[in-house]
Amino acid sequence: MLRKILICFVFVLPALWAAGQSTGTSDPVESTVAPKYSNEFLSIGVGARALGMSNAQVAVVNDVTAGYWNPTGLMGIESDLQISAMHANYFANIAQYDYAGVGKRLDSLSAVGFSVIRFGVDNIPNTTELIDAGGNINYDRITSFSVADYAFIFSYARKMKTPGLIIGGNAKIIYRKVGDFASSWGFGLDASVSYRTGKWRFAAVGRDITSTFNAWNFTLDESTIETFTLTGNEIPENSLELTLPRVILGAARDFRFSQKFGMLAALDLTVTTDGKRNTIISSNPISVDPAVGLEFDYEQTLFFRAGLGSLQYITDITDERLLTFQPNIGIGLRIKRVYIDYALTDIGDQSTNLYSNIFSLRLDLVKQK
């Protein structure tokens, strides 16, 4: 219970505060804010293959998970229907992260996909009514609630007349809920392009190209408002939260050492436009976060993956500036039409040892002739 209360303070209350800020207008419905880290659950990634390669994926992905990474990759689906799922636990099993996706080639020129993502913390104790009107502590008045973010992604990809050129796009519907206290609906668009020539692959993805918005609605009862007032907390107001555009540039190359052994090397550059971030290339308003990944394969059946990302400069207690990074490794196995992938990822820098075990499953369905 204590851990979930801490998660509530670390994640829920700042989210409520950010969503309730305004730009100075007196009308709470019209207030708009563009926080630097909005809808960040959509930056975690999907698929153990990608996480094992530190999310260096936009030029690499060629399966159903392309609905998240780069919709042009849906053209890599060779089966009649492809299904994928992933479950992960974060913060000592407090937070649950789930993904499911389906992709299908419509014909030789186009493909579609649908993805669902949920990131949530469940069974958080609600102690706002712990003390009754007489000032007595009554533990029977403790209830629980969940904080969850949902994304529903509709994807489309199409080959162009130019050989190797594919374009794609996503339409995203976002639903965020904080118990019975607050909820929001949002909508956004992504656009992407990829080009393949020989052993080289190049891609660019524009996420939230029109700025993704979340319209927050707060439904606080009188007792909750009174608790907020007595504890000195600001009472949030209805508002619009904007997620500013970002661009991910990717390049990859295939290497074949023999008929059985091969390697795929990938580089991604995430370019954000929401102000100076703590990345290795940092400026205002643009910052760049690089990630590199490698995938070794044996007869396209057994895979070993490694990656390096989240490169950041930090200052320790002695004012020394240090470069930190997030290493990841993973393996994969293909058994006929079933793909099982595993990743061991450090969710902090290399000194925290907060490792998570990620599993994902992919299935190719083929019609019987």
pTM: 0.81
Q: Average pLDDT of the chain? A: 83
- pLDDT band for position 5 (cuts 50, 70, 90): very low
**DSSP letter string, 117-143:** EEEEEEEEEE-TTSB-TTS-B-GGG-E
| Whether the predicted pLDDT of 351 surpasses 70 | no
Mean local confidence (pLDDT), 332-356: 78
Report which of residues 347 and 260 the model is more confident about: 260
Q: How far is CA 211 from CA 33, 235, 243, 282, in A?
A: 12, 26, 5, 21
**pLDDT of the residue at 321:** 80
| Whether the predicted pLDDT of 7 surpasses 50 | no
Mean local confidence (pLDDT), 165-188: 91
**pLDDT of the residue at 77:** 93
- pLDDT band for position 353 (cuts 50, 70, 90): low
| Whether the predicted pLDDT of 332 surpasses 50 | yes
**pLDDT of the residue at 114:** 97
Round to whole Å and give the CA distance between 160 and 158: 6
**pLDDT of the residue at 34:** 59
Q: How far is CA 359 from CA 283, 333, 341, in A?
A: 36, 12, 6
- pLDDT band for position 185 (cuts 50, 70, 90): very high
Q: pLDDT tens for residues 27-82?
A: 433 455 556 667 888 888 999 999 999 999 999 999 999 999 999 999 999 999 99
Task: Indicate the domain borders of the chain.
Answer: 2-365
Mean local confidence (pLDDT), 251-259: 94
**pLDDT of the residue at 21:** 40
**pLDDT of the residue at 175:** 94
| Whether the predicted pLDDT of 180 surpasses 90 | no
**pLDDT of the residue at 236:** 67
**pLDDT of the residue at 279:** 82
Q: How far is CA 136 from CA 72, 124, 311, in A?
A: 60, 22, 51
Report which of residues 155 and 222 the model is more confident about: 155
The segment with the largest mean pLDDT, out of 100-114, 137-151, 172-186, 355-369, is 100-114
Report which of residues 142 and 340 the model is more confident about: 340
% of residues, the chain, pLDDT over 70: 81
If 0-12 CB within 10 Å is exposed, 13-18 middle and 19+ buried, where does residue 138 land? Answer: exposed
DSSP state of 40: G
Architecture of domain 2-365: Beta Barrel (2.40)
| Whether the predicted pLDDT of 13 surpasses 60 | no
Select from 37, 6, 21 the least CA-distant residue to 235.
21
Mean local confidence (pLDDT), 208-226: 78
**pLDDT of the residue at 345:** 83
Q: pLDDT tens for residues 74-130?
A: 999 999 999 999 998 877 678 889 999 999 999 999 999 999 999 998 888 877 677
Report which of residues 273 and 334 the model is more confident about: 334
338-346 and 355-365 beta bridge pairing? antiparallel
Mean local confidence (pLDDT), 213-217: 84
Whether cis (ω within 30° of 0) applies to the bond prior to 285 is yes
